[in-house]
Amino acid sequence: MRAGHQLHLLEGGGELFPAMVRAIERARHLVHVETYIFEFAGAALQVAEALERCALRGVTVRLVVDGIGTARLPQSWRERLERAGVQCRVYLPLGHLGLLIPSRWRRLHRKLCVVDGLQGFCGGINLIDDLDDVSLGRLERPRLDFALQVSGPLVADMLETMEQLWWRMQAVSRARQHEFRAAWEAWRAGWPALPLDHSPPGRKASPTAAALLLRDNLRHRHDIERAYLRSIARARHEILIANAYFIPGRKLHRALTLAAARGVRVRLLLHGKYEHFLQYHAARTAYRRLLEAGIEIHEYAPSALHAKVAVVDASWATVGSTNLDPLSLLMAREANVVTRDPAFARGLRQRLDHLLQTAGVRIEHEQLRLRPWRLRLFDRVAYAIMRAMLWLLGHRY
């Protein structure tokens, strides 16, 4: 971790989207956005319109969306963005065979935005209205999710990883068109030289230490998982995790149960709404063992939970796009910011504690035991399917 950062926690699109728009409106050189879902409707339209205005004034604007999360940009908006000069790319379009090709299970799940190399945004919030859900439809209450607005040295790391992916996508596209020389040039291409003085004028550098952690299918396969495991192993008092899709593997399950065994209070705030058969039912196979280990499980009741945050001992915290399930930890491109800043960690811990007490429904062991046999069978079937899929990909989890 390096010092010199300012971290501002944003809750939901209601806080993230206006902050992104303000930063985009001040852009002078480059705006680069990556997201899994971009829904051109509702509150997310303000971000699309800001990108359009930014490109029209001559700023380089790049947008990358995932080929499943945003399978198709609306034709009207694609044309508007192209006319404005926004460069749009789709990561791994499914094609005719879709998910029958296992390599296409590897998705772009991270949510990043960098403006001029000076301001960055990282978290779990997709560019979709807080009251819209692709699986649950229109929500009565806003979705619970978090992101960070960041300034400091790690913004350069965010920009570097985004630009590397951008030029690799360019190279692959050229190669598929048999333009091999252009593909080689795209692969080797650099990115615009940007100012990297992260200290606001007249203000001393912040002591806040933070780092950007990535998960990809090359050099950073296990970085985020290892960061979780290290922080859990060092916990002495409390572990708080809010995570949408929680299916812990052997290592994470063991780390949590060992922490509980040495007296650490472990509390989980998880997504309780039914969205997908596999994720919903496979997650519940872990509940019984976790409860037997003394770990508290709460399901978020008011609405959908999409958060991916954690706090350990009110001194270590992470905010990002990574679910604690095999899709995120083994296959998807993810990005998390981690920090050891006590003030930030205490603030996030206070928010999560409040949510657990006021919006979480605690799951008890007896409640699981009394679930209908049909649901318990679904749990086992979903878990078996998940393990079979991982076996096909050659993964142990």
Give me the catalytic one of 198, 271, 306, 379: 306
Task: Give the CA angle between residues 390, 393, 396 to the nearest 5°.
Answer: 50
Distance of CA 348 to the CA centre of its chain: 17
Are the C-beta atoms of residues 313 and 346 closer than 8 Å to each other?
A: no
Point out the catalytic residue in the list 129, 132, 313, 379. 313
By DSSP bridging, strand 265-271 and strand 296-300 are parallel
Alpha-carbon gap, residue 244 to 241, rounded angstroms: 10
- Is residue 197 within 8 A of residue 3, CB to CB? The reply is no
| Residue pointed to by tokens 């922490």 | 259
Q: Which of 5, 32, 111, 198 is catalytic?
A: 111
Instruction: Write out the two tokens for 32.
Output: 């680069």
Give the residue from 191, 164, 174, 228 showing the smallest Cα distance to 34: 164
d(CA 209, CA 198): 14
Tokens of 317: 């915290």
C-alpha distance across the termini of the chain, in Å: 28
- Residue in 32, 66, 116, 145 annotated catalytic: 116
| 298 belongs to the catalytic site | no
d(CA 357, CA 329): 29
The reply to whether 313 belongs to the active site is yes
Token pair of 4, please?
Answer: 């010199």
Question: Which residue out of 157, 198, 308, 379 is catalytically annotated?
Answer: 308
Which residues have a Cβ under 8 Å from the Cβ of 259 and sit 6 or more positions away?
Answer: 232, 233, 235, 239, 266
Q: Which of 5, 109, 281, 298 is catalytic?
A: 109
How does DSSP classify residue 340? Answer: -
What is the torsional sign of CA 365, 369, 371, 376? positive
- Is 308 labeled as catalytic in the residue annotation? yes
* Catalytic residue list: 109, 111, 116, 306, 308, 313
